[in-house]
Amino acid sequence: MRFIRSFSAILVLAGFVPGAAMAQEVYGGVYVHAVDTPFTFDTNEGGTDVQAGLRFDEIGALGGMQPYVFGSVNLSGDTSFVGAGVSWKAEMGKVYLRPGVGLVVHDAPELRVDPATGIRTDLGSRVLFEPEIALGYDISDRFSIEASWVHISNARLFNSEQNPGIDTMGVRVNLKL
């Protein structure tokens, strides 16, 4: 059921993106959920995520940034999320760097406390920031592959008390339409 809700939300978000009917690229990948990094605290989550999304035409007024919508479903029943943002592709031949930033809405519990430590592990707010970065390689004119990191957290803006966040790292394949 969470899978259906998450991807239904992607379709709704796509309707709010300018030029939504003109997606330029679809992507999908497999990610490790809740990777331990210096940017997060342990949320007692884990498993594998499947992520899929759409990228749209570049917006010249924003320096060539591309709007995107995407969803991430955790196959273990932990936190899933949907979001939208902008990314920029810095090409260096066939290799490129793709930083991005967006907002996501997640389905994690509103209040969660680690029973062993008594520390809150909820994400602090329903809406979170979503910075990401990918290192990619153009296989052909239509296909590319990326190793990517996606981070979600409230950046302590919505809750100054805590900010556990979740990092996902994985590989995605892109297909230009």
Query: Encoding tokens for residue 65?
Result: 């940034």
Percent with pLDDT over 70 in the chain = 85
Number of helices followed by number of strands (H, E) in the chain: 1, 9
Range 15-35 average pLDDT = 79
Fold exhibited by the domain 2-176: Porin (2.40.160)
Residue showing tokens 């100054």:
160
Query: Encoding tokens for residue 88?
Result: 């920029």
Predicted local distance difference test score (pLDDT) of residue 80 = 97
Residue 17 binned pLDDT confidence (cut-offs 50, 70, 90): very low
What's the CA gap between 35 and 157, in Å, rounded?
22
Predicted local distance difference test score (pLDDT) of residue 158 = 66
Residue 156 binned pLDDT confidence (cut-offs 50, 70, 90): confident
Q: What is this structure's pTM? A: 0.85
User: CA triplet 146, 35, 118: central angle to 5 degrees?
Assistant: 155
Query: Encoding tokens for residue 44?
Result: 């007692």
Range 11-33 average pLDDT = 73
* Domain ranges for the chain: 2-176
Across the strands, what pairs with 145? 137, 173
Could you count the other beta carbons within 10 Å of the beta carbon of residue 166? Answer: 28
Phi/psi for 97 (5° steps) reads -115, 135
Range 94-110 average pLDDT = 96
What's the CA gap between 34 and 48, in Å, rounded?
9
Residue showing tokens 């760097």:
97
Residue 120 binned pLDDT confidence (cut-offs 50, 70, 90): confident
